[in-house]
Amino acid sequence: VQTIGILGGGQLGRMLSVAASRLGLRCHIFEPGAAPAGDVAWRLTTAPYEDVDALRAFAESVDVITYEFENVPTSALDLLESIRPIRPNRRALAVSQDRLAEKTFLNDIGLATAPFADVPSESDLDAAIAAIGRPSILKTRRMGYDGKGQVRIGDGPAEWTGAPSVLEGFVDFSAEISVIIARGADGQVAAFDPGLNVHRDGILRTTTVPCGLPSKTTTDAVLIAARIANALDYIGVMGVELFFTPQGLIVNEIAPRVHNSGHWTQAGCAVDQFEQHIRAVAGLPLGDGKRYAAVAMENLIGDDLDRVPDLLRTPNVQVHLYGKGTPRPGRKMGHVNRITG
Ligand code: ATP
Ligand code: MG
Ligand code: MG
């Protein structure tokens, strides 16, 4: 493999591209909108997923295709896959694109999720609330991220999301953690240490390692992630978000790609999640996933960018900026990894 195709020109595509170039590989990024962070790639194509000629030219210029964003239309994937392999595979994408398919799959392989009900339309909402109870969270089946497309249902009247949804019982968790796991083409698996995640307004604020939970719990979390990766015959890096509750671990969702909660690996590991993903999809041996430092990752969201001059002067801090231009509230502009031990 010499050239890797990446669907998506956001910050994850950018950091994948940087990791690939360190390994002597080239990246061609295909971005359907504006590519806010894709400028570091060897080649950048900005065209809609409906542009069949652009898609075909993209696929023919690369050896393997991967993605930084799971919501790629099926028609585009069908065309791309007729030309080059897509890693992680289509099943991993299909399962993680749709919260109903995702939760059903997780339960089928014996993993616990929040109780859930299918809510195809607004008229099904009352029956779903009767089945799941309150409080609960209504989430669109597709396209949601950073808490978008979600409605919390408390005691009052329930709002509708506007699209086919699932209703999830509210999980009273004491902590949120995630496992970033890699699986190679040969089935070899390497997991990074689980991180403790703190969200604000539905957006990830910080990830801290070590996560502070007992080793039995972190081992269970890694085993859960490995079970998912094996069941999907997965190739690449995957993020698995979990809730820690008194009853044990509950899987929230899976992301078939590098994950924001894995950014700490850039400062904590010899081989970070981006290089690990490139290695896996390029068919190279996986790297060492061991953690060599304690790290606190903090996202720089919107006006947090004003803190960059100070952060650049802080000794134990690694600053990552995505080159996205103007900050907007809720927009991820960069992150910092603070080495804490
Ligand atoms: P991401 O940006 O991680 O893809 P998302 O939009 O897909 O986010 P979720 O991960 O489903 O959203 O939910 C966002 C956050 O909302 C969770 O990290 C958690 O803090 C909270 N949350 C989601 N589902 C539940 C639940 N069933 N019970 C309690 N809290 C929840
Ligand atoms: Mg999500
Ligand atoms: Mg999430």
- CB contact set of 337 (below 8 Å; sequence gap of 6+): 263, 264, 266, 267, 268, 295, 296, 297, 317, 318, 320
- Look up residue 231 and give its two tokens: 């069941």
* Segments of the chain assigned to CATH 3.40.50.20: 3-86
Question: Could you tell me the pLDDT band of residue 245, with boundaries at 50, 70 and 90?
Answer: very high
ipTM: 0.98
Question: Distance, CA 200 to ligand 1 centroid (Å)?
Answer: 11
Cα–Cα distance, 179 to 165 (Å, whole number): 26
Atom of ligand 1 nearest to the CA of 145: 6
Annotated binding residues for ATP, written as ranges, equal 99, 139, 144-150, 168-171, 176, 199, 252-253
Instruction: Taking residues 287-302, report their average pLDDT.
Output: 97
- Of all helices (H) and strands (E), which one includes residue 60? helix 52-60
Among 286, 259, 20, 88, residue whose Cα is nearest residue 29: 20
Question: Distance, CA 173 to ligand 1 centroid (Å)?
Answer: 11
Question: Distance, CA 84 to ligand 1 centroid (Å)?
Answer: 33
Question: Could you tell me the pLDDT band of residue 313, with boundaries at 50, 70 and 90?
Answer: very high
- Of all helices (H) and strands (E), which one includes residue 56? helix 52-60
Cα–Cα distance, 136 to 15 (Å, whole number): 36
- Look up residue 161 and give its two tokens: 């999301």
Question: Distance, CA 46 to ligand 1 centroid (Å)?
Answer: 30
Asked if the model's pLDDT at residue 38 lies above 90, the reply is no
Instruction: Taking residues 26-44, report their average pLDDT.
Output: 92
- pLDDT tens profile 44-97: 999 999 999 999 999 999 999 999 998 899 999 999 999 999 999 999 999 999
CATH architecture of the domain formed by 3-86 = 3-Layer(aba) Sandwich (3.40)
Q: Above pLDDT 70, what percent of the chain?
A: 100
Ligand nearest to the CA of 200: 1
Question: Distance, CA 330 to ligand 3 centroid (Å)?
Answer: 15
The protein residue whose alpha carbon is closest to atom 13 in ligand 1 is 147
Cα–Cα distance, 244 to 76 (Å, whole number): 37
Query: Which of 251, 252, 253 for a ligand 1 pocket mutation test, highest count of atoms within 8 Å of Cβ?
Result: 252
Among 223, 176, 179, residue whose Cα is nearest residue 196: 176
Question: How far is the CA of 199 from the CAs of 91, 195, 261, 299, in angstroms?
Answer: 28, 13, 11, 10
pTM of the predicted model, to two decimals?
A: 0.96
Asked if the model's pLDDT at residue 35 lies above 90, the reply is no
Residues with CB under 6 A from ligand 1: 114, 137, 139, 144-148, 168, 170-171, 176, 199, 202, 241, 252-253
- pLDDT tens profile 246-280: 999 999 999 999 999 999 999 999 999 999 999 99
Question: Could you tell me the pLDDT band of residue 36, with boundaries at 50, 70 and 90?
Answer: confident
SS3 328: coil
Q: Topology of domain 175-339, per CATH?
A: D-amino Acid Aminotransferase; Chain A, domain 1 (3.30.470)
Pick the CATH number of 115-169 from 3.20.20.70, 3.40.640.10, 3.40.630.10, 3.30.1490.20: 3.30.1490.20
- pLDDT tens profile 172-211: 999 999 999 999 999 999 999 999 999 998 899 999 999 9
* Segments of the chain assigned to CATH 3.30.1490.20: 115-169
Instruction: Taking residues 105-115, report their average pLDDT.
Output: 98
Cα–Cα distance, 59 to 130 (Å, whole number): 48
Cα–Cα distance, 238 to 292 (Å, whole number): 21
CB-CB contact of 148 with 162 (8 Å): no
Ligand nearest to the CA of 199: 1
The single-letter code of the amino acid at 291 is R
Atom of ligand 1 nearest to the CA of 171: 28
* Segments of the chain assigned to CATH 3.30.470.20: 175-339
pLDDT value of position 242:
98
Cα–Cα distance, 164 to 63 (Å, whole number): 36
Atom of ligand 1 nearest to the CA of 255: 4
Using a 10 angstrom Cβ sphere, with 0-12 exposed, 13-18 middle and 19 or more buried, the burial of residue 308 is middle
Q: What is the DSSP letter of 308?
A: H
At residue 256, φ and ψ (nearest 5 deg) are -85, 55
- Exposure string for 87-126, b = 16+ CB within 10 A, e = fewer: bbbeebbbbbbbbbbbbebbeeeebbbbbbbebeeeeebe
- Of all helices (H) and strands (E), which one includes residue 198? strand 195-200
pLDDT value of position 59:
98
